Structure 1
Amino acid sequence: MKNPFSKLNRWCIAAGLSATCLAAPFTASAEPNIGDILKEQARRELNKEYDRKNDRDRDRDFDRDHSRDRRNSDDRYRDSTDAAVQRALSRRGYYDGPADGSLGSSSRRAISRYQRDNGLQVTGTVTPGLLRALRI
């Protein structure tokens, strides 16, 4: 008795598509259509490429969003530190403006006066030495 799969197997192996052909249901009356098989493979490859592109886009968006979050959290930390410096200078009588975390010219002048009066290097900016001296 002749094996009905032999012609199909020979065709699939010759085309290099044995796994695809053998996985498809076999019908004795229909020969495998190479066009349909190639279309299906092309569709799968396009879907893989589409998925890879979406993964790259999703990773890029994730990185962009999280770097923005890190930048904003650094800004919030700096603003809160600057506001704490303003409050500390205000308690010591060096600063009389609002403790809003924005270091304007009056804040810089107050920092410079405090640094000069306490033997710190005068920079007019928030430095680790200033934070230690103010105990912040």
Structure 2
Amino acid sequence: MKRILVLCTGNSARSQLAQGYLQQFAGNRAQVYSAGVDPKGVNPLAVQVMAEDGIDISHQTSNHVDEYTGISFEYVITVCDNAREQCPVFPSGARRFHQSFTDPGHEPGMDALTSFRQVRDQIKTFSRQFIDLHLPAS
């Protein structure tokens, strides 16, 4: 089983969404974790928009990246520029990927829920493509 770590700044939205989708698409082929460089707690809007798409992330927690330094990851995915810049080097030799997504709820002229839904859909597309490419079903 492969291990995937998704990182963003606060581990409250983008990485939580990605963790949910990556786990959904990977099934038992991967164990997916998420963390942040400055964790803020899981945003309730992240939980809400994932529930709208049939995925329950209410059990996920907001964790600091340092909690995972002892785990060997095959893949580390950063989903914001800040996390990419501050991400520690993992001794496991994990393959690193970066795909920056807008911080949902912080887009001028867009209400927070609409913003979360838009970013959710972008992350869903990315997650499906990532799993199809790197962990295809046998």
Under TM normalisation by the shorter chain, which class is it?
A: under 0.3
Between structure 1 and structure 2, the one with the greater Rg is 1
Higher relative contact order (CA 8 A, sep 6+): 2
| Alignment TM-score, normalising by the size of structure 2 | 0.20
- The structure in which a higher percent of residues are helix is 1
Under a length normalisation based on structure 1, what TM-score does the superposition of the two structures give? 0.20
